[in-house]
Amino acid sequence: MANQQQLDLLKQGVTESWNRWRQDHPETALELNGVDLSGADLGEVDLAHADLSRADLSGTDLNNANLSEANLIGANLSGANLANANLYSADLSGANLVEADLSGANLSGANLRGTNVRGANLSWTNLNEAIITAEQLKEASPPQDSL
């Protein structure tokens, strides 16, 4: 179950409220599973280690966000802007990344098993040691610039 206080704080604003709170409470577990943040402006947000499983993040701006080691199992990230985001060792299994912008993102060590990446922009994306199939890469656009 999502933590309503955390969700309310996140909706107050990333730079002025959320990231400052994260700096003051680095050990607090982030329980945002199943939340609806579709279309939100979360650029540069610190959601490292967050549980965002089954969250609706479709169309959300997450550019330069820190989602390292986040649980994004079954999350909807279709059309999301994840350009230059840090998704190091994130679990994206079963997530929807259709037409998401992952250009320049760090997906090293990420689990993309069963993830739909059709039309996703993987230009200059770091996929070192990521769990992703060749078939998935063929569906992404453009796969040729991925690292």
Task: Give the domain CATH number at 120.
Answer: 2.160.20.80
Q: Which of 68, 55, 60 is nearest to 106 (CA)?
A: 68
Cα 117 to the center of its chain, rounded Å: 13
Q: What is the pLDDT along the chain (147 residues), one digit of tens a residue?
A: 799 999 999 988 887 789 999 999 999 999 999 999 999 999 999 999 999 999 999 999 999 999 999 999 999 999 999 999 999 999 999 999 999 999 999 999 999 999 999 999 999 999 999 999 999 999 998 644 444
Q: What is the pTM of this model?
A: 0.94
* 44 CB-near residues (< 8 Å, 6+ apart): 14, 15, 19, 63, 64, 65
Judge whether 134 and 113 are in contact, CB under 8 Å. Answer: no
* Phi and psi at residue 143, to the nearest 5°: -75, -15
Domain that holds residue 4: 1-147
Judge whether 22 and 42 are in contact, CB under 8 Å. Answer: no
Domain count, the chain: 1
Reported as half-sphere exposure (CB side, CA atoms, 13 A), residue 66 has a value of 11
Please state, in angstroms and rounded to a whole number, the distance separating the CA atoms of residues 134 and 124. Answer: 17
